[in-house]
Chain A
Amino acid sequence: MAAGTLYNKVWDSHAVTTLPTGQTQLFIGLHLVHEVTSPQAFDMLRERGLRVVYPDRTFATMDHIVPTKSQKRPFADGEAEMMMKAIERNTKDFGVSFFDFASGRQGIVHIIGPELGLTQPGMTIACGDSHTSTHGAFGTLAFGIGTSQVRDVLATQCLAMDPMKVRRVEIGGRLKPGVTPKDVALFIINRLGVKGGIGFAYEYAGQVFDEMSMEGRMTVCNMAIEGGARVGYVNPDETTFAFLKGREHAPKGADWEKAVTRWKTVASEKDAAYDDIVKFDAGDIEPMVTWGVTPGQSVGILQSLPDPEAIHDEGEKQSTLLAYRHMKLTPGQRARDIRIDVAFVGSCTNGRLSDLRAAAAIAKGRRVAPGVQAFVVPGSMRVRREAMAEGLDKVFTEAGFEWREAGCSMCLAMNPDQLKGDQISASSSNRNFIGRQGSPTGRTLLMSPAMVAAAAIAGHVTDVREFSSTGASHV
């Protein structure tokens, strides 16, 4: 194992014992729960006569199925209403804190954990959702689990696991103007591949991450799993501590100072041993857009789509051909000419306040192109309130975007926000998988929130750098 890394230190401190299988019994410091992957786990506890062993380390909300146009109960979708009732009953029966609409704290689980200060450096965090890697931005070991593992954490606060290898992904230099954390995330996946991270935790490091905001770090860690890495993290530093200070669940007073002292000790040592190190130069990163059906099938905004005949690996070639068939795009065509039907700003990847600000800066004083449906979905009730306090809702609605309630929305289409037929979306979410946004023939182009806003206004994918943020009318 990677001696001296944050991964190694957090793993060791949370290792309870070695199981007869050889797996480590790993203690989970924080368990986040949502409505979709938990009802079967709570039922398994009932069947086995088990309780939630640490309800004070377990926090639930609902995000995937909530409608974003109206959250009036009962929901119009009977299945969604039944799922809501299940999490209400389960959290009540088992004594788990539940952030519902009435709490004012509801939102996407990976957005509310950090904003409430529940996510703290040096923790292990598990949730029945693959984008749990988001919390790694705080120097945690955070990963998605399946429902049977949700059962294990509820019943024992532990998981039976094996450690991963650690790859340091180092990006030196400064990002060019107009290049955002989302572009960094897509660039890394493009270079290392969607399966390059299998078996690894990614430690993101270098000047780019040192200078990146917490919200940006969350965006990059969020998409670690899209590169195959179940865990992604950034070592905690002053940026981390400044973000956490004063948050609802963060330590207070003298406890704060003690916590910061302890948090500093979990960062990777300078001489830590990594299983692998890769280095990139920030100057090579352009605004990125995916054109295919995996998050690795992407190009820089000024590039043309790749030639499948130039690919030697047969599996990769077949994947590329499948992507072209599904996307109805042509090799050699320019990425920035692709017309769009829908523009979606939101998700656990890019539904935070800074994302909404970036999109609003492009939308301000402009109009959504005719025929494009554009909408903005804040990641949490709090993000929504803060955005409205700044007047971002007005900027969006005046530009022709719809302004919605908090939820996962069109990232995964378990709610009414779905593509129809073969509509094509510019989306600030994380997955462009076939059928992901609700229509089996629907098509998704992943990009940064600012690029989504620019595409909404142009009516096609475009280079956000051609927009001044003060509202030139020409596109």
Chain B
Amino acid sequence: MSKVIQIKGRGVPVIGDDIDTDRIIPARYLKEITFSRMGQYPFYDERFTAEGSMKDHPFNKPEYQGASILVANSNFGCGSSREHAPQALVRWGIRAIVAESFGEIFAGNCAMLGTPAVTASKSDVAALQALASEKPGADFIIDLEAMVVRAGSMTVHVTMPGSRRNSLIQGTWDSTALLLANAALVTAAAARLPHPSGRPLA
């Protein structure tokens, strides 16, 4: 598992509050039993008409092909727990997301994929979105050690829960191995905690 410390790439602005996971990936694509094709679907109904022609959406624009830092507004990824949403973004090419705030489950899912979801102030997000709109080629650097985003002449302070940041910096964001390491403690916990069969506690 790789350490995630610094991510460099071009920004793509997706503007609007409360962009929910149904908008990020419509439920009909959740019928696939693997994540392998999810990269085709991010924002599908906002990018394509029912007939399949392209709508005006940043993910469709030539200048944002290859962009890897998504800049969004508040409550991004609210709604459903579907990991298909960050899977779709990551498989499209997104490697980090900066937003005013995130839906809680979505932010956790991003961390599980090694994808930083960091928050910045409303005015800083607006400035980053303006930069990505006016200069689509500009480099964005997300630095998880300094907890800043550097872009153009700007250096913007960002935040994320400290433990999630640690999991990225340490390269332990895929948490299964960490959790398996404490098997004996888990066995003890299982013995003393309520069981759905209603069996009595030790």
List, in ascending order, chain B residues with CB within 8 A of A259's CB.
194, 198
The contact size tier of chain B is: 35 or more
List, in ascending order, chain B residues with CB within 8 A of A129's CB.
80-81
Docked CA distance A149–B185 (Å): 19
Contact A56 B197 (CB under 8 A): yes
30 interchain pairs (CB within 8 A)? A16-B185, A21-B166, A21-B167, A22-B166, A25-B178, A25-B185, A36-B82, A40-B34, A120-B198, A123-B193, A128-B81, A130-B80, A146-B81, A147-B83, A148-B83, A160-B163, A249-B196, A251-B198, A251-B199, A258-B200, A315-B17, A315-B122, A319-B17, A412-B22, A413-B27, A413-B28, A433-B23, A434-B20, A434-B22, A438-B28
> Does B113 interact with chain A (Cβ within 8 Å)?
yes
Produce 1/0 per residue, B95-106, CB < 8 A to A: 000000111110
Contact B81 A130 (CB under 8 A): yes
List, in ascending order, chain A residues with CB within 8 A of B154's CB.
none
List, in ascending order, chain A residues with CB within 8 A of B52's CB.
none
Q: Chain B: which residue is nearest A43 at the CB level?
A: B34
Contact B81 A145 (CB under 8 A): yes
Docked CA distance A118–B194 (Å): 11
Are A25 and B182 also in contact (CB < 8 A) when A199-B104, A440-B26 are? Answer: yes
Q: Chain B: which residue is nearest A27 at the CB level?
A: B189
Produce 1/0 per residue, A411-448, CB < 8 A to B: 01110000000000000000101111010100000000
Produce 1/0 per residue, B1-32, CB < 8 A to A: 00000000000000011101011001110111
Docked CA distance A310–B23 (Å): 27
> Does A155 interact with chain B (Cβ within 8 Å)?
yes
List, in ascending order, chain B residues with CB within 8 A of A21's CB.
163-164, 166-167, 170, 172, 178
List, in ascending order, chain B residues with CB within 8 A of A19's CB.
163, 172, 175, 178-179
Known: A80-B31, A225-B105. 4 other contacts (CB 8 A): A19-B179, A147-B35, A151-B176, A319-B18
> B33 → chain A, closest Cβ, in Å?
4
Docked CA distance A212–B152 (Å): 56
Within 8 A of A (CB), among B94-130: 101-105, 108-109, 112-113, 122
Within 8 A of B (CB), among A46-65: 48, 50, 53-54, 56-57, 59, 64-65
Are A123 and B27 also in contact (CB < 8 A) when A20-B172, A145-B105, A228-B75 are? Answer: no
> Does A71 interact with chain B (Cβ within 8 Å)?
no
Contact A22 B163 (CB under 8 A): yes
- Cβ 8 A contact of B33, one of A83, A249, A316: A83
Docked CA distance A146–B201 (Å): 30
Are A249 and B180 also in contact (CB < 8 A) when A146-B81, A315-B17, A413-B28 are? Answer: no
> B36 → chain A, closest Cβ, in Å?
9
- Cβ 8 A contact of A152, one of B18, B83, B176: B176
> Does B131 interact with chain A (Cβ within 8 Å)?
no
> Does B136 interact with chain A (Cβ within 8 Å)?
no
> B181 → chain A, closest Cβ, in Å?
9
Contact B172 A230 (CB under 8 A): no
Contact A228 B78 (CB under 8 A): yes
> Does A369 interact with chain B (Cβ within 8 Å)?
no
List, in ascending order, chain B residues with CB within 8 A of A54's CB.
190
> A108 → chain B, closest Cβ, in Å?
14
Q: Chain B: which residue is nearest A140 at the CB level?
A: B194
Contact A318 B17 (CB under 8 A): yes
List the 7 closest pairs (A to B, CB-CB), nearest first.
Answer: A251-B198, A146-B83, A146-B109, A144-B81, A22-B163, A148-B112, A156-B179
> B56 → chain A, closest Cβ, in Å?
14
- Cβ 8 A contact of A36, one of B30, B112, B198: B30
Contact A29 B194 (CB under 8 A): yes
> Does A294 interact with chain B (Cβ within 8 Å)?
yes
Docked CA distance A143–B104 (Å): 10
Within 8 A of B (CB), among A19-38: 19-23, 25, 27, 29-30, 36-37
> B161 → chain A, closest Cβ, in Å?
6
Are A195 and B74 also in contact (CB < 8 A) when A40-B35, A413-B28, A436-B22 are? Answer: yes
Contact A20 B170 (CB under 8 A): yes
Contact A22 B162 (CB under 8 A): yes
Docked CA distance A316–B122 (Å): 13
Within 8 A of B (CB), among A355-378: none
Contact A433 B20 (CB under 8 A): yes
List, in ascending order, chain B residues with CB within 8 A of A53's CB.
186
Contact A156 B176 (CB under 8 A): yes
Contact A198 B176 (CB under 8 A): no
> Does B68 interact with chain A (Cβ within 8 Å)?
no
> Does B174 interact with chain A (Cβ within 8 Å)?
yes
> A210 → chain B, closest Cβ, in Å?
24
List, in ascending order, chain B residues with CB within 8 A of A27's CB.
186, 189-190, 193
Docked CA distance A438–B45 (Å): 11
Q: Chain A: which residue is nearest B174 at the CB level?
A: A148
